[in-house]
Each structure stands twice: as C-alpha cells, then as structure tokens.
Chain A
Amino acid sequence: MTNLYQIFFLNLALGLILGFVFHRSDLCMAGMFRDIFLLKRTFLLRILYLQVIATMALFFIAKKAGLISLYPPPNLNIASLGTLAGGMIFGIGMVLAGGCVIGTLYKMGSGSIISIIAFAGLIIGSAVFAEFYPFWAEFSKRTRVSEAVLLPQLIDEHFLMFPILFISSMLIFRWMRSKKLHQKAYAEGYIHPWKVVIIIALLNLIIYISSDMPMAVSTGYSKIAAYLEKILVPDHFETVAFFKKESYSVLHPASKSLIAGGPGAKFDHISSTEISLILGVIFGSFISAVSIGEFKLTLSTLPPPGQNISALLGGILLALGSRMAGGCNVKFLMSGLPLLSIQAFLFLFGMLPGAWVGTYLFKKFIISYGREGSDGK
C-alpha cells in the first residue's frame, strides 16, 4: 500500500486491537525485564521469546513468499555505540516510568494518571533530544559497529534461520508441555500473554506487508513534540535540524513511489504508521477498560509525589534513550530481533543493565525497599 491514508486507517484499526489485548493481558515489557531483577521471575521473558520466534517464522515465510518488498526495512539502521547507550538509558527509563513506550499508552488509555505523566515526559524528552541531535548523530556515525543492518547480510540466511527456528520450536514445545507459558491470573477478562504475543506477531506481519516496514512507535512521539513546538515556539522550531530530517526516504521497488518519513511536523509515512498506532492503542485500551468497569481516571487516588516525579523522569529517559538508539523496544525487540537486526541486539544488551539500574534507583529513592524485604521463609 502506498496511500498514506489507507495505511493510517489500517494501523489505527490494528492499534485498537493492540491496545485492547495489551490492557487485558497487561503484557508489560517494563515488567518483563524488571521482574528478572525484582522478583527473579522469568515467566514474561519466555513469553517475549515466543513472540520473537513466532514473528521470525512469519517474516521468514512472508519473505520467501515474496510478500515483503523492502528488506532490510528502511526503519532499521546501522548499529553504533549510540544504540547500546540508548538502550541503557531506555532500560532505566522504562522501570522508572512504570511502562515502556507502548505500556505507557495502554495504561494511559485505561485512566492511569502516572502513565499520563510518563506520556508527558516522553514528549518533553523527545523535544530535549531534538536540541542535541546534531552532536549525537555525529557520535553515532563515528561509532558504527558494522556496515550491515541485519545479520543475514553477513551470514547466509538459511544457515541462521533454520537452526534458530528448529531449536526454538523444540524449546517452546517443551515449555508448553510443562505449562511454563501459562500462569494463574485473577483479573477479569484476562487474556493469556502467550495468545497476545501470537496476535501481535500476526498484526506485525500485516503491518510489514502493508506499510513496507515492521511495527515501530517512538518516532511518533517526536512528531507530537514537533507539532507542539511549531504551535508554541514557532521561531525556535524553525531552527531545529532534527525536525527537518527524514528518518528514511526510499523508492518503493514495485510502485516507484517515494516512501519517506521523519520526526517533522508534517503528515508523512511515520504519521500513517506510528501516530495511528499511538492513537489506536490509547483508544483500544480505553474501550477494554470501560467494557469491564475498570476505567479509573480520578484525582482522588493521586499517587505520592515521588512516584509522579519518577514517572516524569522515566518518560523523559524513555524518549532520550529511544532517540539515541534510533528506536524503542517495539521496533527493536518486537520487530528487529525477529529479523536478526544488529541494532536490536545492541539495544537489548544496553537495556538489560539499564533495567537493573532502574530497579535499583526505584528501590533506593522512590520506595525504600532493602534487605528486610528478602524475607523468604
């Protein structure tokens, strides 16, 4: 599809589904990584693994069937140390914010004040990054780790894909038999995470085929920041190089039309793929919450100041981290890992210690919880 409006409304519809299932399953990627350090639990990590493998299989089959026209997709790039550093900042931010770039959206849609504050942080962080973008772009350019975007450009694709898919399927099959992909849940209308990640993998495939690149969301936040600056500080807005750049600009091989998008304040390919998802997830989650009487927007249960400050800082760090890395957990973990993107691996390596630091900071400064908490017996 090359019509931006068609893509916009398709992604909006897919976003509604995403928001709904995210809210029902509370499939929180911040929780996924935080629980490793906080609870020593890896249940959600197995769910993520299932998602990566399912997506990998779907993308691989679609590519073999000739359904994918742009490979590597233009929204994945060459990895640099900037990706690693960004991943680390992102990891800290997601724990402090209580959600990643998409977790913040679905929690906000269900009426969480904390996530509305984190969302504001994400917009502020995007605007802050725009100010030091030229410096960071230079740093990233100088610290490139490889000229390849995806591992299959370096090593034969079949040599990589077949063993990974085979061994992983056996592993997942074993988890299924020992019920390790299942856990007890009490929330009303709960949808089990393993079902949700299969749904997301399918939606991601539809997005990749229809809009020529897999799911991503965080440049959408920069766009919102750009529109706000254009309205509020138009003179300054004109001087910001970041809002003038294109993130990608490629000629579509079949239709010969130009696919271009960037963080600027204009309707382009990023608007039709990412702004649509942002809106869809918020409203999808809103619909889910209202339908089971769990929409909760009220000032009467405003959390303590420490948590609000943490959410704001967390949101700012999420935006800084994702712009420094050139993407967020959605682009890298849900879309990049299944394509064996080098950027995605570096982002993950940064995000893990980042989540550890975030958990440490939260326990130290927001809710003091130390050794006395390790009462196990």
Chain B
Amino acid sequence: MENETVINLDVISLDIRGQICPACLLISLKEINKHKGLLRNGEANLIVRTDHRDATRTIPDAAVAMGYAVSVEKKKGYYEITVGRKDEDQKA
C-alpha cells in the first residue's frame, strides 16, 4: 500500500499506520516540506495518523524545531498528530 495523500479544504491527511521509524519521521518531514506554503500561512493543517508510539515523540520534536505548532491526540488504536501554523502568542 502506498502512502495516500488526501487534500481537503484545509486538512492534509497522511496515514502512515503500520510503519515504524525512521520511515515515519522521514515521510512526515517530506510531507511538511511539500506543503510548507499552506502550513506556514495557516491555510491548512497536516494530520498524521500513526500507530508507532515513537513517532509521537520524533515527529512533534522535529516539527516544533521547524517552528510549527503541534498537537497529539489519541484515537482508537492510533495517534493523530496535527501540524500547523504557530500563532504569535501560542507556545507549542
């Protein structure tokens, strides 16, 4: 199965369930860079779905270091990592 990228109005979703690091991190970083215009402007959020626990550490770590705001939410059996624009007064 290839990694499917679905672009809705303002949500770019990336499903990497079943994959582990370093693949999880590299694929997510590529996706962040591909859509950095939209993400930086706040026109879209990237939502990464992963079932690899370590990715909930590495992806937010890397995205925060790049200056994005990140939130992580546990769903049924996997995690959703949301990467988006960081507001001026908002601490990631």
Contact = CB atoms under 8 A, between A and B. Distances in A.
A307 B19 contact: yes
A284 to B, nearest CB: 15
Contacts of B54: 26, 28, 31
Contacts, number: 105
Interface string B31-75: 001001000000000000001111011101110011100001010
B47 to A, nearest CB: 14
A367 B26 contact: yes
B57 A373 contact: no
Nearest to A376: B66
Contacts of B26: 38, 362-363, 367, 369, 373
A301 interface: yes
Contacts of B62: 39
Given A187-B56, A301-B51, A369-B29, A31 B21 contact: yes
B79 A186 contact: yes
A99 B56 CA distance: 16
Given A26-B54, A304-B2, A373 B20 contact: no
A375 B66 contact: yes
Interface stretch (A60-68, A110-118, A133-141, A198-206): A110-118
A184 B92 CA distance: 11
The SS class assigned to the A binding surface is loop
Contacts of A39: 25, 58, 61-62
A302 B18 contact: yes
A296 B18 contact: yes
Contacts of B15: 301
A95 B72 CA distance: 25
Size bin of chain A's contact surface: 35 or more
B53 A98 contact: no
A65 to B, nearest CB: 38
B67 A38 contact: no
Size bin of chain B's contact surface: 35 or more
B27 interface: yes
A31 B56 CA distance: 13
A107 interface: yes
Contacts of B9: none
A304 B77 contact: no
A41 B61 contact: yes
B1 to A, nearest CB: 6
A348 B57 CA distance: 25
B86 interface: no
Interface string A72-102: 0000000000000000000000010011000
Contact of B74 (A35, A188, A369): A188
Contacts of B66: 375-376
Given A39-B61, A98-B21, A373 B29 contact: yes
Given A183-B57, A186-B56, A187-B53, 19 more contacts: A23-B53, A31-B54, A39-B58, A39-B61, A98-B20, A99-B20, A115-B20, A186-B72, A294-B51, A296-B77, A302-B1, A302-B18, A303-B1, A304-B1, A304-B2, A363-B26, A367-B23, A375-B33, A376-B65
10 contacts: A26-B57, A35-B58, A39-B25, A41-B61, A185-B57, A301-B19, A302-B18, A303-B18, A304-B2, A369-B29
Return the 9 tightest CB-CB contacts between A and B, nearest first. Answer: A301-B18, A186-B72, A301-B17, A26-B54, A367-B26, A98-B20, A187-B53, A186-B56, A369-B26
